[in-house]
Amino acid sequence: MLAIVCPGQGSQTPGFLLPWLDLPGLRERAESISAGTGIDVVEHGTISDEETIKDTAIAQPLIVAAGLLTHAALGADGAASLVAGHSVGEITAAAIAGVLDDNSAVRFVATRARGMAAASAVTPTGMSAVLGGDSEEVLARCAELGLTPANMNGAGQIVAAGTLDQLGDLLSSPPAKARVIPLKVAGAFHTAHMAPAVADLQSLADTLAPADASIGVISNADGAVITDGADVLARLVAQVTSPVRWDACMHTMLDRGVTGMIELAPAGTLVGLAKRAMKGVETLAVKTPDDLDAAARMLRDHSDDQTGSTTE
């Protein structure tokens, strides 16, 4: 059984989209996505520097665009039994599953990105990965400092989010046997700090007509496999201020019998987590077109006739 996963913000690097735009039709598709988002996907995916693409209003549409482009290059329609995305990657996943068409997906991510960027500007906030240590001690230290465990990523990684002062205290006095790494994001995503972004996103969601998913979408909220389109869309809105339970998503993949996992560009982060938490599952990070042959082999080896799409 095959799962396709889509990375979230912080996975982007300067120039990562450049080799993909040489493939037939992808530059034109990127230009179409640019028109839909108001963000020049081609420019930001090829020549913009690290500081520019760190901007939430740019990073989120760029990451979703990359996922849609690389999925198109894979030619993987109908091959996967499950799809999941981390944070903003869940929008990519919803589009791959047919819940949102590409136009709706890019409008949704553009609205999300603008709203979260504006919310991030209200108070200086950020996120830091806490690696290792006892999970209960890490959560207790976060609570002590008023931080939110915004991403429960499994594999010994919890991402704390809050004000820069709170994160500074965490960095200077981390939990025992834990290492704290500040992340390249501009705000405390998936916390109450993002509440100002919800109203406009909900207003847009009310105008969309989501379809039921063609394959199961694993929800960030709790790892449930969802096929009801309205439920997927509602969870995408709620996700802005709710923690991402990627640990639960990986558990679901294991429970459903996933044997292969392909991560779309900008790939690497989710495969890294899977290598530690999903032993025995073959993984592939599709970073450049050079990885497409390996992806095609995985599509053949791990695809089956099961849908993996029971709603829970």
Catalytic residue flag (residue 190): yes
What distance in Å separates the CA atoms of residue 130 and residue 175, rounded to the nearest whole number? 9
Catalytic annotation present for 219? no
Question: What distance in Å separates the CA atoms of residue 239 and residue 9, rounded to the nearest whole number?
Answer: 14
Q: 44, 71, 86, 190: which one is catalytic? A: 190
Residue 100's Cβ-count burial label (10 Å; 0-12, 13-18, 19+) is buried
In b/e form, how buried is each residue of 224-242, taking b as 16+ CB within 10 angstroms?
A: bbbbebebbbbbbbebbbb
The residue from 11, 87, 120, 242 that is catalytic is 87
Chain position carrying tokens 């993909």:
20
Find tokens 């099961």 and name the residue: 306
Give 279's contacts (C-beta < 8 A, 6+ positions apart).
Answer: none
- Cα separation, 173 vs 170, in Å, equals 5
Q: Can you read off the two tokens belonging to residue 119?
A: 């919310």
Strand partners, 60: none
Say if CB 35 and CB 102 are below 8 A apart: no
The catalytic residue positions are 87, 190
